[in-house]
Structures are given as C-alpha cells and as structure tokens.
C-alpha cells in the first residue's frame, strides 16, 4: 500500500503516528490538537511502544511503516465480528481492520495499474495532465505532450491552487489553499458520474479490455477470471460469472443494434493485439 505523507520528509512524525493514514483513525483522534483540549490516546501503551521504537530506530519513518504494515493487526480481515462489535462498538482498539475508501491519488493510480498503463518512473518534475477546456485554464495549465509522462503516478501531477486537477478533486484531494490535519471523505453521485463520463477513464477501461483479451485469450470464462484477478486478486465465483455473462450477452445485443442503427459508435479495445488470418 502506498501512502503519501503530507509532512515534510525531515520532520519527525509522531502525530498519528501514521496510523491515521493506514487505519483511518489515529491513536489520538484529534490530530490537530494534542494538548489538554484534545482527546486522550485510545491506547497509550501502544503509543509509548511505537514512539520508543521510533527513536531507537533512528527516527526512521520507513521502519515505523514497516513495523505497522507487517503487524497482525494490519493483516487481519475487515469482516464483521459480533463479539468485537459488542466489546468495542467504535473499533477504537482495532479488533477488526476498518474499512476505508481509497484516497484520490490511490483511485487514479489503481485505474492506471488495472489498465496496464501506469508509468513507474521515479523522480523528476511534476507533470500536467490534460484538463477539460471548460476550466479555461489557458496558459496556466499546459498539458505535457508526452503520453508516458501523463500516465505517471498521481504524486507527480502538478498542484495549482487556482486549478485543482478535476478527477482528484472529485475524490477529496487535499486542497492547496488551506492547511488541514486530515482529508475529508465524502461519497456522492458526482463521483460515480465522474468515472462514468470521464473520457480518460473510458480510455483506461478500453485498455483494460484489451489487456484481458490479450492475456486470457478468446475463452469468455478465462477472460472473466483474468478480469477478477486484475481487479480483485481472485477468480470470479460461479454466481458472479453467471451474472456477468448475462450482462455481457444483453449489453452486446444492445450495442450491436444501436451500432447498426447508427445511434452508437462502437469503441475499440485499446492495446488489443490484432492477428492476420
């Protein structure tokens, strides 16, 4: 799991201590206030242990993350457990792993990974992704001409206070116009619409379709297994396959009819390898 810490690299970080980024809630819930007005630690013994190890390991944030991410707490299931819910309704002691939505950058990066288009180049200057003309950015936002640069991790997308990148902004990207201790997490219909209607996301979807066919071949069942393997790291079960096959059959029929009537232009599956017969 990648996490972009918003603290300066040379600043010792004992605020959460990074648990807020990984588990959604920190040991101290009031991340902006650690004085008497703030809340007390939910687990002071754990806080002392992590702080002590942090100092012993040379104030290494990387080692702190390694200790947390290799713990049994991080690796446990998010499945509901009645006994835990009764003993700790708010899950303050992390009896189960809390469910949390991916952050804006993680959502975009996961789409790029699934499509097979993510550029893993490290370092270098920020890049400018194309943005809708309706924003009237003009000379303030000149899109990078190299498509490989445009598909780099979201960490490298340029941040301009007056022109936030739309796709990331929709999913609660941190605003550059104010300082905040933690990001807002909202769920709205606009987020679904942004994914449905975004031309860039459509292109990534077409690339994913081409990748599935190239890697799985012509067998429809194998294609569904490959799709689930890419998206969910598992194979589709029988009920899921049956449901998806019905959807594919009905959707293909609708697309063929509308394409024949001139009401729809069929989309190509990008990245699909063509062979001569």
- The confidence band for 32, taking pLDDT boundaries of 50, 70 and 90, is confident
Query: Model confidence over 258-273: pLDDT tens digits?
Result: 887 776 665 555 555 5
Cis ω before 206 (30° cut-off from 0): no
User: What's the residue count for the chain?
Assistant: 277
Please write the tens of the pLDDT for every residue from 61-84.
999 999 988 988 888 888 899 999
Residue 13 vs residues 6, 7, 31, 36, 60: alpha-carbon distances, Å: 10, 7, 12, 20, 9
- Bridge partner list, 127: 157
- Is the pLDDT score of 3 beyond 80? no
Longest dimension (CA), the chain: 76
Token pair of 139 as six digits:
């000379």
Mean pLDDT of 76-99: 89
Q: Please, what is the average pLDDT of the chain?
A: 82
């Amino acid at each position: 799991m990648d996490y972009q810490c918003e603290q300066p690299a040379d600043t010792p970080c004992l605020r959460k201590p990074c648990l807020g980024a990984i588990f959604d809630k920190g040991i101290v819930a009031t991340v902006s206030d650690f004085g008497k007005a703030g809340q007390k630690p939910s687990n002071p013994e754990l806080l002392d242990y992590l702080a002590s190890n942090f100092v012993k390991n040379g104030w290494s944030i990387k080692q702190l993350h390694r200790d947390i991410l290799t713990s049994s707490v991080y690796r446990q299931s998010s499945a509901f457990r009645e006994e835990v819910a009764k003993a700790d309704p708010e899950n303050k002691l992390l009896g189960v792993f809390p469910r949390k939505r991916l952050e804006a950058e993680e959502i975009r990066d996961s789409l790029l990974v699934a499509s097979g288009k993510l550029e893993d180049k490290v370092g270098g200057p920020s890049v400018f992704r194309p943005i809708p003309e309706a924003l009237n950015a003009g000379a303030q936002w000149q899109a990078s001409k190299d498509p490989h640069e445009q598909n780099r991790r979201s960490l490298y997308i340029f941040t301009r206070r007056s022109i936030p990148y739309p796709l990331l902004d929709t999913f609660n990207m941190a605003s550059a116009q104010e300082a905040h201790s933690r990001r807002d997490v909202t769920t709205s219909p606009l987020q679904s619409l942004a994914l449905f209607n975004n031309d860039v996301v459509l292109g990534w979807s077409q690339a994913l379709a081409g990748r599935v066919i190239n890697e799985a071949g012509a067998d429809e069942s194998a294609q569904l297994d490959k799709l689930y393997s890419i998206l969910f790291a598992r194979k589709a079960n029988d009920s899921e396959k049956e449901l998806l096959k019905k959807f594919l059959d009905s959707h293909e029929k609708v697309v063929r009819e509308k394409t024949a009537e001139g009401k729809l232009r069929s989309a190509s599956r990008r990245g699909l390898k063509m062979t001569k017969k």
